[in-house]
Amino acid sequence: MARIAPKAIDRYPWPVRWVLRRQVRKYGSVLAPALLWGRLPGPFLGMLGLLGAFGHRNPVEARLRSLVSVRVAQLVGCDFCVDLNAHHVLAAGGQRDKVAAVGRWRDSDRFDDRERAALDYAEKLTQRCDAVVDADIGTLRAHFSDDQIVALTAWIAFQNMSARFNTALGAEQHGFCELPGESPDGVTEKR
């Protein structure tokens, strides 16, 4: 349950209400984070614009961005984000068994070297970004262009902000993706 109660829908400013109505049409209901972010209309609408910009001609494919997002969400503890991003991985052609194995990617044969490099980088940025060293960027360069590395870094940073906001304020799962999930230590649990 969210730690901050939503306002009545008619108490949000009209641009936020417009977004909430679109969510109902797209997802069947308003998403929990929108009711929290909607209390800050300017940053909320700016964040949605940034999210749209990340999707427009992003040099890193959506499936990989979403896979990395699942891992960031697991590390931060954002069940809403795991749920939504697992759904996005599958929508982008990813495999259920791969999504279910993200928490133990180091020990799984389901991930290729490019995915491993991105997941390792995502973990470092999420856990302690000052642990990133030149060798990490070198590892990424074996699989990504410099533009892709910048895009991946920006995406991971954005996901950290979003997941940390949602987790701190208790944004609830939506039920997008019924998959067995894994905690960051690789123990399977129902998400």
pLDDT tens per residue across span 73-131? 999 999 999 999 999 999 999 999 999 999 999 999 999 999 999 999 999 999 999 99
> At residue 164, does pLDDT exceed 80?
yes
- DSSP element (H, E) containing 180: strand 180-182
pLDDT given at position 191: 36
Within 10 angstroms of residue 113's Cβ, the number of other Cβ atoms is 10
- DSSP element (H, E) containing 182: strand 180-182
Burial class (CB in 10 A: 0-12, 13-18, 19+), 158: middle
pLDDT given at position 179: 61
Strand partners, 190: 180
Strand partners, 163: none
Length of the chain: 191
Spell out the domain ranges in the chain.
9-55, 62-190
At the fourth CATH level, the homologous superfamily of domain 62-190 is AhpD-like (1.20.1290.10)
For the chain, what percent of residues have pLDDT higher than 90?
A: 88
Confidence of residue 180 (pLDDT cuts 50, 70, 90): low
Strand partners, 188: 182
For the chain, what percent of residues have pLDDT higher than 70?
A: 93
> At residue 159, does pLDDT exceed 50?
yes
Q: CB under 8 Å, gap of 24 or more: what pairs does 111-114 form?
A: 113/142, 113/143, 114/64, 114/143, 114/144
> At residue 135, does pLDDT exceed 80?
yes
How far does Cα 34 stand from its chain's mean position?
Answer: 15
> At residue 160, does pLDDT exceed 80?
yes
Query: Encoding tokens for residue 91?
Result: 């929508």
pLDDT given at position 1: 79
* Mean pLDDT across 145-168: 97
Q: pTM for the full model?
A: 0.90
Spatial contact of 85 and 70, defined as CB atoms under 8 Å apart:
yes
Spatial contact of 59 and 26, defined as CB atoms under 8 Å apart:
no
pLDDT given at position 104: 97
* Mean pLDDT across 57-77: 97
